[in-house]
């Protein structure tokens, strides 16, 4: 853990914020580069990313608060405390998809094609942000005595599964697969559905090693949502493709 990277003139530069900024910059660069090759406006894509990022941050925070509502009702001021974590990727994904579809349709860009361009760099950005989680000490794993266990939690110095690193490595693998698959799809939107499928599988597995408090029966809430996402994406790809290419 290293929440503060360095200080300049009394201003602290936080690791999580720095990784978020790097993820945004890398994602925008990759998306506009691929978009230009696909004949889409770089300016439109950049503006769309700004809207999606705002929506994703708000959506991820709102869903997290709803999932932990009793705790926030007991101490409402903690709604504004994000130092100890408090962002749900699923909430950000849902909000980001909604805004992306709205923006694409408003500016006459094919949503499926745009989603396919976004998918690899969304996964890349996700992986970079997970390094920020490791620096911040959030999204940590269960206590463990495995050889690679790390003191990866802001709550204590116990050795734990470094689930942030698991997430980073899985993200890089999924990013590579999506880049390899980007010209091998049958219809616009398929690559984004594959992103949801691969992410859901990874998340289902890694949830076993994470320290979580929200459960849906014998599954964690993250596993339940991931299972729904994986099945839904698989069915959409195999049975109900949205808008086949001509």
- Alpha helix ranges (H) inside 38-154: 42-67, 69-74, 89-106, 111-136
CA dist 225 and 231 (Å) reads 10
Tokens of 53: 């990022």
Long-range contact pairs involving 194-198 (C-beta distance under 8 Å, separation at least 24): 194/119, 194/233, 194/237, 195/119, 195/120, 195/122, 195/123, 196/229, 196/230, 196/232, 196/233, 197/229, 197/230, 197/233, 197/234, 197/237, 198/123, 198/174
The verdict on whether residue 238 carries a ligand-binding annotation is no
- Among residues 165, 227, 166, 168, which one has the least CA distance to residue 201? 227
Beta-strand relationship, 215-216 and 11-14: unpaired
Annotated binding-site residues read 130
């Amino acid at each position: 853990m290293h929440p503060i990277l360095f200080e300049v003139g009394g201003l602290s530069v936080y690791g999580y914020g720095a990784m978020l900024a790097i993820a945004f910059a890398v994602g925008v660069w990759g998306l506009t580069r691929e978009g230009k090759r696909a004949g889409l406006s770089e300016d439109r894509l950049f503006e769309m990313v700004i809207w999606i990022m705002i929506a994703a941050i708000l959506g991820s925070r709102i869903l997290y608060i709803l999932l932990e509502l009793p705790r926030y009702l007991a101490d409402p001021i903690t709604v504004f405390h994000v130092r100890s974590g408090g962002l749900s990727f699923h909430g950000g994904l849902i909000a980001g998809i909604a805004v992306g579809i709205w923006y694409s349709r408003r500016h006459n860009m094919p949503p499926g094609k745009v989603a396919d361009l976004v998918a690899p760099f969304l996964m890349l950005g996700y992986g970079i942000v997970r390094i920020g989680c490791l620096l911040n000490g959030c999204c940590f794993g269960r206590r463990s005595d495995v050889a690679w266990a790390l003191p990866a939690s802001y709550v204590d110095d116990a050795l734990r599964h470094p689930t942030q690193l698991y997430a980073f490595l899985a993200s890089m693998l999924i990013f590579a697969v999506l880049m390899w698959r980007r010209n091998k799809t049958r219809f616009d939107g398929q690559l984004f559905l594959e992103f949801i499928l691969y992410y859901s599988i990874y998340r289902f597995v890694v949830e076993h090693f994470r320290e979580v408090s929200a459960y849906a029966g014998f599954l964690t809430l993250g596993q339940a949502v991931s299972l729904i996402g994986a099945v839904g994406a698989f069915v959409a790809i195999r049975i109900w493709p949205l808008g086949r290419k001509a």
